[in-house]
Amino acid sequence: MRSCSRIKSNNRPRIGRIERITTDFFKIKIRQFQPNPPNPRSIQLESETIMTKAKQWRVGIIGAGTVVTYGHIPNFQSIDNAEVVALCDVNQARVQEVATEYGIPHAYTDYREMLEKDAPDIVVVATPNVFHKPMTLDALDAGAHVLCEKPLALHYADAEEMMAVAEEKGLVLTVGAHYRYSDPVQACKAHVDGGFLGKVYAARTSWQRRHGIPGYGSWFTNREMAGGGALLDIGIHALDRALYLMGYPKPLRVVGATFAEFGPRGEGLFDWGADGVDRGVQGVRFDVDDLTWAQVQFEGGSVLHLNVAWATHAPEEFRTQLYGTEGGLLLDGFDKYMLYQDLDGKPVDITPEPPYGSGVSSYRRLVENLVRHLDGDPDAEIIPPEEALIGARIIDGILRSAESGREVAL
């Protein structure tokens, strides 16, 4: 069985043969397909270094929080023709500590100074959400391509403005919704594009935590700084996973409801985020959602149900399910999926056998694809402006619907 680095956004592989290995309840396993071998510019999976084209890309990162140390710094540093030359954070002690730990030569507390002195080719914006727009616009004005952490902006109109500026300047602006690059999602995308499901007419997607409120008392739980809670944090990932598989249909209307039942009581907390306060501190601000439900209707009649929660009295889950006229699929968690179809009029569950992918993390592929895209590789898939804006429009509509108590036309 051939190994793979990723599944291309176009020219996806054909679905593999189905092999019946047991007759119990007509459950079968599918011999997992693999994409075509990568071209010479693709990554070398067996080494720590990703081989791309020769141009050296200078990377500057704004923000020194957990997502940067976990996702951005190590993955950019793993690419042979990218160098993280500068790091910026308003917390001087933290930025110096992180820069020293990862061998980053320049540390700043003023991002404008970083843009001026180091002139990075690529800027990562990974700060509290309220700063995404001004920092991205400043980076674009400085001539840099931008990878902005999700959400792109607090409001759809701001996201639209940011994309318009990037287009005007001929620069790339993309967003860090990285779970679409995971091997299971890429495999499911190939099944959908290959026609296994037929017409997809409904979907539901959920990321539900039991105790998962991050950064309690920090910007995460401050509406002015974050713009929202679970919806703008993990909800964007759940939404992108479903929309990506559905082919990003045009949304027409949305209805949503938001709740905050755990956070205001200091319950359901999770140790994520560098700025959280101690759990026992009284009077902590929490005015964002810790649970959001929504339903979106698309052109052509298809619908999507979205459920996201930081904290619930319910089982934890990260699931995306598609319903098609010829088959269905369920993405369950981060590393497995199931296919459903009828054979000879009998219901069949299809379980792809792991390992069925490259072993490359979704964050690494997010970063790798950006660099390869800038290198001119047409097969390096990044989130295009039109998809980023559809997601921003839906999120904006959900929040407006929740506030008004009415359906919102998009």
| Higher-scoring residue by pLDDT: 402, 18 | 402
Average of per-residue pLDDT across 183-211:
96
What pLDDT was estimated at residue 45?
34
Tokens of 87: 């790091």
Burial of 29: CB neighbours in 10 Å, binned 0-12, 13-18, 19+: middle
- The proportion of the chain whose per-residue pLDDT surpasses 90, expressed as a percent, equals 80
Tokens of 166: 């990037």
H-helix or E-strand spanning residue 371: helix 362-374
pLDDT band for position 186 (cuts 50, 70, 90): very high
Question: Which of 3-17, 197-211, 226-240, 320-334 shows the lowest per-residue confidence on average (mean pLDDT)?
Answer: 3-17
Q: Which residue segments constitute the domains of the chain, with CATH numbers given?
A: 57-175 (3.40.50.720), 179-361+374-409 (3.30.360.10)
| Higher-scoring residue by pLDDT: 275, 350 | 350
| Higher-scoring residue by pLDDT: 215, 31 | 215
| Higher-scoring residue by pLDDT: 49, 28 | 49
Spatial distance between the Cα atoms of 29 and 338, rounded to a whole number of angstroms: 10
Tell me the DSSP string of 274-289: TTPPPTT-SS----S-
The closest of 19, 16, 29, 125 to 336, measured between CA atoms, is 29
pLDDT band for position 283 (cuts 50, 70, 90): low
Peptide bond preceding 355: is omega within 30 degrees of 0, i.e. cis?
yes
Per-chain mean pLDDT for the chain = 87
pLDDT band for position 121 (cuts 50, 70, 90): very high
The closest of 216, 228, 59 to 129, measured between CA atoms, is 228
Phi, psi dihedral angles at 373 (to 5 degrees): -60, -45
Tell me the DSSP string of 325-340: SS-EEEEETTTEEEEE
What pLDDT was estimated at residue 278?
55
**What are the C-alpha distances in Å from 167 to residues 1, 9, 159, 266, 271?**
42, 22, 12, 43, 38
3-state SS class at 266: coil
* CA atoms within 13 Å, Cβ hemisphere of 98: 29
For the CA atoms of the chain, what is the radius of gyration? Answer: 21
**Is residue 84 a contact partner of residue 77, using CB atoms and an 8 Å limit?**
yes
Question: Which of 106-110, 241-245, 282-286, 327-331 shows the lowest per-residue confidence on average (mean pLDDT)?
Answer: 282-286
Peptide bond preceding 35: is omega within 30 degrees of 0, i.e. cis?
no
